[in-house]
Structure 1
Amino acid sequence: MVRKISLIILLLFIVPLFAHDYWLQPEKFILAKGETLAVHLYVGDELKVDIERPLQKNMTPRFELHTPDGIIDLRSLQADSVQPVVKRAVDFVGPGLLVMNRDFAFIELTPEQFSDYLRHEGLEEIEALRAKMDKRTKERERYARFIKSLIQVDKNNQGELYNKVVGQKLEIVLLQNPFLVKPGDELTAKILFEGKPLPDKSVMALYKNQQGQVKVFKSITNKNGVAQFKLTGPGMWVIRLVHLLPCKGCNDVDWESFWASYSFWIK
Structure 2
Amino acid sequence: MKYTCTFLLFLFVISAFTASAQSSYLLPEKFYLQKGEKLELHLLQSEDFNKQSDLKYLPAKTAKFILLQGKKPVDLKPMAKDTGKVVLSYNSPEAGTTLIDLVSTTEANEMSRSKFLRGLDEDDPDKIADKVKSSNQLYYKEKFTTYMKTLFINEKDGGSAFTKPLGDDYEIVIQQNPYKFNYGDDLSALVLFKGKPAVAAEVDMFVKTADGNTFPQKLSSDASGLIYFKLSREGIYILRSKHFEISKDKSADFESWRTTYTFAFSSNNELPNTYREFGLGNKH
Instruction: Tell me which interval the TM-score lies in, with the shorter structure as reference length.
Output: 0.7 to 0.9
Gaps of 5+ in 2: 1-14, 267-284
Q: What secondary structure is seen at the aligned counterpart in 1 of 2:53? A: strand
Specify the SS of the correspondent of 1:61: strand
| Aligned amino acid, residue 179 of structure 1 | Y
Offset from partner CA, 1:4-30 (integer Å, 9 cap, x none): xxxxxxxx9x9444x211111111101
Instruction: Confirm or deny that 1:251 pairs with 2:222.
Output: no
Question: Partners in 2 of 1:163 and 1:47 — Cα distance?
Answer: 30
TM-score by length of 1: 0.86
Question: 1:147 corresponds to which letter in structure 2?
Answer: M
Does the Cα contact within 8 Å between 1:46 and 1:216 map onto a contact in 2? no
Q: Between Structure 1 and Structure 2, how many residues are aligned? A: 251
Q: What TM-score results when the alignment is normalised by the length of structure 2?
A: 0.81
Report what 1:211 is aligned to. Answer: 211
1:1-267 matches, within 5 Å, as: 15-17=18-20, 19-45=21-47, 49-68=51-70, 70-81=72-83, 83-120=85-122, 122-127=123-128, 129-130=130-131, 133-155=134-156, 157-248=157-248, 250-267=249-266
Q: In structure 1, give the amino acid aligned to 2:155.
A: D
Runs of 4+ residues deviating >6 angstroms: none
**RMSD in angstroms over aligned alpha carbons?**
2.2
How far does residue 133 in structure 1 lie from its aligned partner after superposition?
4.9
Distance in structure 2 (CA, Å) of the matches to 1:82 and 1:137: 34
CA distance in 2, matches of 1:69, 1:94: 13
**Conservation of the 8 A alpha-carbon contact between 1:96 and 1:150:** yes
User: For residue 140 of structure 2, what is the amino acid of its counterpart?
Assistant: E
Q: CA deviation at 1:46?
A: 5.6
Amino acid corresponding to residue 235 of structure 2 in structure 1? G
Cα distance between partner residues in 1 of 2:84 and 2:26 = 14
Q: 1:33·1:91 contact (CA, 8 Å) conserved in 2?
A: no
On the 8 A contact 1:43/1:49 being kept in 2, the answer is: no
Deviates more, 1:66-75 or 1:192-201: 66-75
Provide the rounded CA distance (Å) in 1 between the counterparts of 2:232 and 2:19. 26
Following superposition, the deviation at residue 47 of structure 1 comes to 6.0
Deviations 1:64-110 (A, max 9, x none): 11123732211012343363111122141101110100012332222
Which is richer in helix?
Answer: 1
Tell me the secondary structure at the aligned position of residue 107 of structure 2: strand
Distance in 2 (CA, whole Å) between partners of 1:127 and 1:66 is 36
Mapped to 1, the partners of 2:126 and 2:23 lie a distance apart of 21
Moved more, 227-236 or 195-204: 227-236
What percentage of aligned pairs have identical amino acids? 26
8 Å CA contact 1:68–1:94 kept in 2: the answer is: no
Paired residue type of 2:207: Y
Quote how far apart the aligned CAs of 1:224 are.
Answer: 0.9
